[in-house]
Amino acid sequence: LHSARMSHPHKWTATFGALLKPPSMKRSVKTIIIHEKYRYPEHDYDIALVKLSKQVEFTSNIHRVCLPEPSQTFPYNIYAVITGWGALTNDGPTPNVLQEATVKLIDSNTCNRKEVYDGDITPRMLCAGYLEGGVDACQGDSGGPLVTPDSRLMWYLVGIVSWGDECAKPNKPGVYTRVTFFLINIHASLRDSLLP
């Protein structure tokens, strides 16, 4: 969201199958809906919906990630996957290839401990990473997905890369927007966007 806040939809393009030669599909952005309660620098309510100019056709190379059900829970200590084009180290170079890393979901009580984020984690956020550090999202990954599979290997969007204290530091896991908190807003916006 903090990436989209200062920008107009016509300046954005969504690319699908970016690793294919040539990229499979591009869509212009029609509308960006930013949550009305978003606050910076706290990054609370850090979520935006992007409406594309045309529908995306899924192919053997372009797949969807599912939104969880409102009642769906994701236990802590399960593994989740982050992907992005962000820096490889804090203030370091960016990669030429999409990066992927596996992190663990960390409970909010742990994340709110004094030595971690000292109470800054709200119910709209979740932490993922490792307290010992070493693996994390980094600058340039903001807005990217945190996904986890269920027992049927259906992938669900659990979080959205939001913020952190540098990258991969001990006691400073990544902080993500908690998608399940916003499902009612997301579904209402989707319904409204389908109206004439």
Q: Which of 3-7, 122-126, 142-146 has the lowest mean pLDDT?
A: 3-7
Strands (E), 35-191: 48-52, 79-84, 99-106, 125-129, 145-149, 155-163, 174-178
pLDDT at 88 over 60: yes
Mean pLDDT, residues 5-34: 83
Q: Compute the distance between CA of residue 141 and CA of residue 145 in angstroms, rounded to an integer.
A: 9
Q: What's the whole-number average pLDDT of the chain?
A: 91
pTM above 0.85, yes or no: yes
pLDDT band at 194 (very low <50, low <70, confident <90, very high): low
Which residue reads 């916006």 in tokens?
189
| pLDDT cut 90: percent of the chain above it | 66
Q: Which helix (H) or strand (E) holds 30?
A: strand 25-34
pLDDT at 1 over 50: no
The structure tokens listed for 136 are 């994390």
Task: Please give the pLDDT value at position 3.
Answer: 54
Task: Please give the pLDDT value at position 95.
Answer: 93
Tens digits of per-residue pLDDT, 51-62?
Answer: 999 999 998 888
Task: Please give the pLDDT value at position 61.
Answer: 85
Q: Compute the distance between CA of residue 146 and CA of residue 55 in angstroms, rounded to an integer.
A: 23
Length of the chain: 196
pLDDT at 7 over 80: no
Q: Which domains can be identified in the chain, with CATH numbers?
A: 9-63+182-194 (2.40.10.10), 79-180 (2.40.10.10)
Tens digits of per-residue pLDDT, 101-136?
Answer: 999 999 999 999 999 999 999 999 999 999 999 999
